[in-house]
Structure 1
Amino acid sequence: MLQMLSKPSSATAMSPFTSSKMGSGFRVWPNVRQFSFKKGLLYGFMHFFSTPLKSLRSTASRSLRVGRFCSVVNMSSSLQIELVPCLRDNYAYLLHDVDTGTVGVVDPSEAVPVIDALSRKNRNLTYILNTHHHHDHTGGNSELKARYGAKVIGSGSDKERIPGIDIYLNDGDKWMFAGHEVHILDTPGHTRGHISFYFPGSGTIFTGDTLFSLSCGKLFEGSPKQMLSSLRKIMSLPDDTSIYCGHEYTLSNSKFALSIEPGNKELQSYASHVAYLRSKGLPTIPTTLKMEKACNPFLRTSSAEIRQSLNIAATADDAKALGVIRQAKDDF
Structure 2
Amino acid sequence: MLEIHQFPCLSDNYGYLLHDPESQETACIDTPDAEEYLRQAGRKGWQITQIWNTHWHPDHAGGNTTIKAATGCRIIAPAAEADKIAGVDRSIKHGDVVAIGNRKAAVIDVGGHTLGHVAYHLPGACVAFVGDSLFALGCGRMFEGTASQFWTSLKRLKALPPETMLYCAHEYTASNAKFALHADPDNADLAAYVEEITRRRARDLPTVPTKLERELKTNPFLRADDPKMRARWGGGDAVATFAALRSAKDSF
Q: TM-score, normalised by structure 2?
A: 0.97
> Percent sequence identity over matched residues?
39
Q: Matched residue of 2:125: which SS?
A: coil
Which whole-Å CA distance do the structure 1 matches of 2:227 and 2:186 have between them? Answer: 11
Compute the displacement of 1:303 (Å): 3.6
On the 8 A contact 2:229/2:241 being kept in 1, the answer is no
How far apart, CA to CA, are the structure 2 residues paired with 1:323 and 1:308?
A: 14
Partner of 1:130: 53
Partner of 1:142: 65
The reply to whether residue 272 of structure 1 matches residue 195 of structure 2 is: yes
Give the structure 2 partner of residue 82 of structure 1.
5
2:64 touches 2:87 (CA, 8 Å); kept in 1? yes
The DSSP-based 3-state class of the residue aligned with 1:126 is strand
**Are 1:236 and 2:156 an aligned pair?**
no
Do the aligned residues in 2 keep the contact of 1:155 with 1:194 (CA within 8 Å)? Answer: yes
Larger radius of gyration: 1
Which residue, out of 103, 106, 109, partners 1:186?
Answer: 109
For structure 2, list consecutive stretches of 5 or more residues without a partner in the other structure.
none
Cα RMSD, aligned residues only: 1.1
In structure 2, the partner of 1:262 is 185
Determine if the alignment matches structure 1 residue 327 to structure 2 residue 247.
yes
Does the 8 Å contact 2:131/2:167 carry over to 1? Answer: yes
Equivalent residue, structure 1, for 2:79: 156
One-letter amino acid matched to 1:220? F
Moved over 3 A (4+): 302-310
Q: Secondary structure at the match of 1:82?
A: strand
State how far apart, in whole Å, the 2-side matches of 1:116 and 1:86 are. Answer: 11
Q: 2-side partners of 1:120 and 1:243: how far apart?
A: 25
Q: Take 1:140 and 1:109, find their aligned partners in 2: how far apart are those partners?
A: 6
Q: 1:83-118 CA distances to partner (integer Å, 9 max, x unpaired)? A: 121111111210111112111110110112111111
Quick one: distance in 1 between partners of 2:249 and 2:182?
10
Gaps of 5+ in 1: 1-77
Question: Contact between 1:85 and 1:113, CA under 8 Å: does it hold in 2?
Answer: no
Please identify which structure carries the higher helix content: 2
Show the 5 A alignment for 1:167-316: 167-310=90-233, 312-313=234-235, 316=236
What number of residue pairs does the alignment pair up? 252
What TM-score do you get using the length of structure 1 for normalisation? 0.74
TM-superposed CA distance for 1:152, in Å, is 0.7
Deviations 1:141-160 (A, max 9, x none): 11101001111110112210
